[in-house]
């Protein structure tokens, strides 16, 4: 069953000349041959991980909220074994966050709380996408979060990128594109995977052609090639984010989700994704190695099936480890862990249960955003 919700610096990057507004850290960018940025892959060294501690009752059901907050604390504590974690938390939730974190073993690295008001926990989609320029200066892209096409309250979440960047004196990189961090997957060598259903959607980018989107993302993320999956519209709030379907584990190697449940709409979607990626080629015209991550059959029914995101592809890569989910389906959990152990031989695989967050249609990846190191 499935449902949802190196650093290799580009030698072709040319010199850049950008004017900073003297009164802010905001930068307005323009797509020209003289200005290029580069996004390192998730597996590269992090400065920290960003998360939020929130489960508001105008978004989450009452029975979900306690478990969601426990799950967030567990994710933060697990990641903090390997790198610092910074958490956004409202004034009303701050004491609860401190208490839940105190119940868990003290990790090696610090967990720091930043007080601000937020709507929801999905920082993959609301936090800045961090990139470097040719001088190795870090920027945060603001992709104009609009609640996944105006599907959810997002007044507070639309300010998350600005808050994080200003708090850390990181310049903001502006674009007219509307999308979310979960809607693109990059390999760090110039290739990205996206879904048409999410990015080329009138609820986000009605006046953009596919070519225009590609040009803008190549410029912002340092890309040379984009592989498009069709995805599926309207079945979940994200309109089929790619981070629920396909992820690079290294250049030339991709893990792909497969839904074995023939009664699920995602059965056909995932089959189609596999076929597209089998035909795709890298920058050297070589086929990708595909590793299939089959979804669990058994899940925790406590919160119902409607939005439960039962898939292993929502893992998060941090410094020295991969944090992935388990679902209580012992055979599927074991197979998925083995697949990621083979894909990440130099990292420890940590498997945790976060069924509360999964019940809201998300994953560990959805709840986290990496900030690469300062160069």
pLDDT of residue 25: 39
pLDDT of residue 60: 96
- Coil, strand or helix at 219: helix
Position 305 confidence tier, pLDDT thresholds 50, 70, 90: low
Closest C-alpha among 87, 89, 85 to residue 56: 89
Residues pairing with 114 in the sheet: 88
User: Concatenated DSSP letters for 6-39?
Assistant: -----TT------PPPTTSSEE-----TT---BP
pLDDT of residue 242: 98
pLDDT of residue 302: 81
Tokens representing residue 36 in the block: 């290029």
Contact 355, 303 (CB under 8 A): yes
Contact 118, 92 (CB under 8 A): no
Residue 219 CB neighbours (<10 A): 18
Give the whole-number percent of the chain exceeding pLDDT 90. 85
pLDDT of residue 33: 46
Element (H, E) at 303: none
Cα 88 to Cα 146, 198, 312, 357: the distances in Å are 19, 26, 26, 17
pLDDT of residue 36: 84
pLDDT of residue 19: 32
Element (H, E) at 134: none
Contact 369, 123 (CB under 8 A): yes
Closest C-alpha among 179, 64, 170 to residue 124: 179
pLDDT in tens, 62-120: 999 999 999 999 999 999 999 999 999 999 999 999 999 999 999 999 999 999 999 99
pLDDT in tens, 232-277: 998 999 999 999 999 999 999 999 999 998 988 899 999 999 999 9
The mean pLDDT of the chain is: 91
Residue with tokens 């190196």: 6
Residues pairing with 115 in the sheet: 89
Position 304 confidence tier, pLDDT thresholds 50, 70, 90: low
Sign of CA dihedral 350, 356, 362, 368: negative
Q: Outline where DSSP puts E strands in the chain.
A: 26-27, 46-53, 85-89, 111-115, 129-132, 138-142, 172-174, 184-186, 191-195, 225-229, 246-250, 253-258, 289-294, 316-318, 321-325, 348-352, 369-372
What positions carry a catalytic annotation?
366
- What count of residues does the chain have? 375
Q: Which distant-in-sequence residues (6+ apart) come within 8 Å of 331 by Cβ?
A: none
Residue 85 CB neighbours (<10 A): 26
Instruction: Provide φ and ψ at 67, rounded to 5°.
Output: -70, -40
Q: How many helices (H) and strands (E) does the chain have?
A: 10, 17
**pLDDT exceeds 90 at position 28:** no
**pLDDT exceeds 50 at position 184:** yes
**pLDDT exceeds 60 at position 4:** no
pLDDT of residue 23: 32
Could you give all domains of the chain from N- to C-terminal order, each with its CATH number? 38-372 (3.75.10.10)
Give the relative orientation of helices 94-102 and 65-79 as an angle to the nearest 10 degrees: 60
Give the separation between CA 269 and CA 259, rounded to whole angstroms.
Answer: 9
Stronger pLDDT, 301 or 21, i.e. the higher one: 301
Closest C-alpha among 137, 142, 170, 169 to residue 157: 142
């Amino acid at each position: 069953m499935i449902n949802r919700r190196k650093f290799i610096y580009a030698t072709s990057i040319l010199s850049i000349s950008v004017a900073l507004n003297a009164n802010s850290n905001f930068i307005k960018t323009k797509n020209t041959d003289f200005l290029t940025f580069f996004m390192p892959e998730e597996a590269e060294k992090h400065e920290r991980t960003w998360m939020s501690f929130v489960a508001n009752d105008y978004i989450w059901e009452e029975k979900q909220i306690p478990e969601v907050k426990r799950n967030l604390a567990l994710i933060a504590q697990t990641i903090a074994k390997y790198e610092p974690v910074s958490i956004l938390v409202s004034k009303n939730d701050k004491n609860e966050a401190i208490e839940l974190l105190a119940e868990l073993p003290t990790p090696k690295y610090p967990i720091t709380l930043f007080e601000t008001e937020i709507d929801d926990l999905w920082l993959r989609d609301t936090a800045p996408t961090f990139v470097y320029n040719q001088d190795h200066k870090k920027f945060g892209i603001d992709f104009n979060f609009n609640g996944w096409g105006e599907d959810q309250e997002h007044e507070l979440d639309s300010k998350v990128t600005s808050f994080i960047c200003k708090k850390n004196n990181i310049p903001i990189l502006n674009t007219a594109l509307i999308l979310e961090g979960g809607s693109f997957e990059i390999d760090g060598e110039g290739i990205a995977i996206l879904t048409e259903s999410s990015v080329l959607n009138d609820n986000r980018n009605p006046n953009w052609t596919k070519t225009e989107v590609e040009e803008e993302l190549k410029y912002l993320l340092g890309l040379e090639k984009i592989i498009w999956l069709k995805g599926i519209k309207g079945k979940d709030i994200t309109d089929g984010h790619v981070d629920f379907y396909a992820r690079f584990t290294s250049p030339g190697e991709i893990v792909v989700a497969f839904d074995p449940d023939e009664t699920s709409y995602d059965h056909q979607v995932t089959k189609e994704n596999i076929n597209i990626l089998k035909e795709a080629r890298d920058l050297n015209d070589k086929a990708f190695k595909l590793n299939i991550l089959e979804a669990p059959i058994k899940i925790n029914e406590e919160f119902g099936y409607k939005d439960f995101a039962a898939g292993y592809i929502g893992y998060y890569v941090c410094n020295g480890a991969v944090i992935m989910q388990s679902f209580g389906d012992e055979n599927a959990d074991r197979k998925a862990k083995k697949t990621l152990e083979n894909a990440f031989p130099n990292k420890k695989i940590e498997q945790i249960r976060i069924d509360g967050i999964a019940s809201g249609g998300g994953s560990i990846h959805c709840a986290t955003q990496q900030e690469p190191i300062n160069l």
